[in-house]
Amino acid sequence: MNKKQFVVSALIGLALYLISTGLSFGIFKALGVGGAGGILSLRGGTGSGNQDHFLVDPGAPKTESCPINGKLFTKQEREIWEKRRPLAVMIENHAESRPQSGLSSADVVYEAVAEGGITRFMGIFYCGIATPVNLAPVRSARTYYLPWVLEYDALYNHVGGAGRCNDPTVDERAKALCQIEQWDVKDMDQFSISFPTCYRNYDRLDRPVATEHTMVCVTDKLTKLAADRGWTNVDAAGVAWDKDFEQWKFKDDAKEQDRGQSFSASFSAWKGYEREYGVRWDYDRANNVYLRFNGGTAHMDLETNQQLSAKNIVIFFAREIGPVDDHAHLLYNNTGSGQGLLFQDGKVVEITWRKPTRTDRTKFFDASGKEISFNRGQIWIEMLPTGTEVSY
């Protein structure tokens, strides 16, 4: 072959390669395989013997009720979650950290002040993560989230936290790391987890941010690591996570003619923090969902580029104590009982909450003492200091 023939052959080969690569990419993109927003998603594990390779069929009927929020999923998705236990993941809400990743995939989201008027989220991820989800930025543990973690006997993913048992600078009541150990919480502290399960991504956002706003953890890798530690749907002793789990009650959406009119509800956990940490939920009557605004702007999920929304909003009033030490740690009385509000179907209902002990399920009741039934879908629980003004 002369030089000219070699060049021509090389160019033809390169062209064929590019064409085949483009076609493959187009096909896979159309199918959504491996894509964040695709219709189908192929999921693979990282260890030998992994059985989580599967396709989520978009045409399969959604007949299976999620035990955590009642949302309907396919049988394929149920087969996945039944092999696991819930993940409880701390995700921060500092203004520099937004938009967060993964909150739209949570079955339930808890929000409370972490310190200094800045709230923090804890998402419960179980049914909605059949395909892998990036969670970010993951941040540290706080003691008043632990009673909620224990309700699900969940894997608790966080980056460090307040107070080890031997730390004299932290109030005993605020020592979250100590309580994780004492209460036998299934600890997934990032300090014991390496890449690629958790890692710092300094390019996650389109601007530079401080190191504490960069931690990413990946759901399927967390559950694989948990399985390696003996925590699947059962623990090392063979006890299922849901052995004593009490499901909330669920219902279908109200028919459109029975829904309330569109309205907004707004609040800030601490006065003076409205500009960056004020929350507003706008009711979308046609779709019967509440759209979230944070600091005056639409609150987005980086992974989906969609505004966060929820089917049910619970306002949970609890006594706030503190700061209780020089680290500005707070305490909340979220065991016992208290008052609250429920936004659902475009209406506002005054409710009470009860949680007799830290391991008991928190339950919500209307004025007649009847347990609340939630609409099927994401539930967002906003814990606010008793006396916080909520405008609606």
User: What 8-state DSSP symbol labels residue 230?
Assistant: T
Q: What pLDDT does residue 247 have?
A: 98
Closest CA to 161 of 377, 329, 353, 6: 329
What pTM was estimated for this model as a whole? 0.87
Q: How confident is the model at residue 46 (pLDDT cuts 50, 70, 90)?
A: very low
Location of structure tokens 């391991």: 359
Residue 382 to residue 310: CA distance in whole angstroms: 12
Q: How confident is the model at residue 59 (pLDDT cuts 50, 70, 90)?
A: confident
pLDDT tens per residue across span 10-21: 455 445 444 444
CB-CB contact of 277 with 93 (8 Å): yes
Q: What pLDDT does residue 292 have?
A: 98
pLDDT(124) > 80:
yes
Closest CA to 262 of 278, 242, 285, 240: 285
Residue 381 phi, psi dihedral angles, 5° rounding: -110, 115
Percent of the chain with pLDDT over 90: 84
pLDDT tens per residue across span 171-195: 999 999 999 999 999 999 999 999 9
- Residue 19 gets the label, from left (phi > 0), alpha (psi -120 to 50) or beta, of alpha
What DSSP assignment string belongs to 20-44? Answer: HHHHHHHHHHHHTTT-TT-SS-EE-
Q: Name residues whose C-beta falls within 8 Å of residue 157's C-beta, 6 or more positions apart in sequence.
A: 87, 88, 89, 90, 135, 138, 188, 189, 190, 198, 217, 222
CB-CB contact of 78 with 65 (8 Å): no
Three-class secondary structure of residue 8 per DSSP: helix
Three-class secondary structure of residue 124 per DSSP: strand
CA-based end-to-end distance of the chain? 80
Mean pLDDT along residues 359-382: 98
Q: How confident is the model at residue 52 (pLDDT cuts 50, 70, 90)?
A: very low
Average pLDDT score over the chain: 89
CB-CB contact of 96 with 118 (8 Å): no
pLDDT tens per residue across span 276-334: 999 999 999 999 999 999 999 999 999 999 999 999 999 999 999 999 999 999 999 99
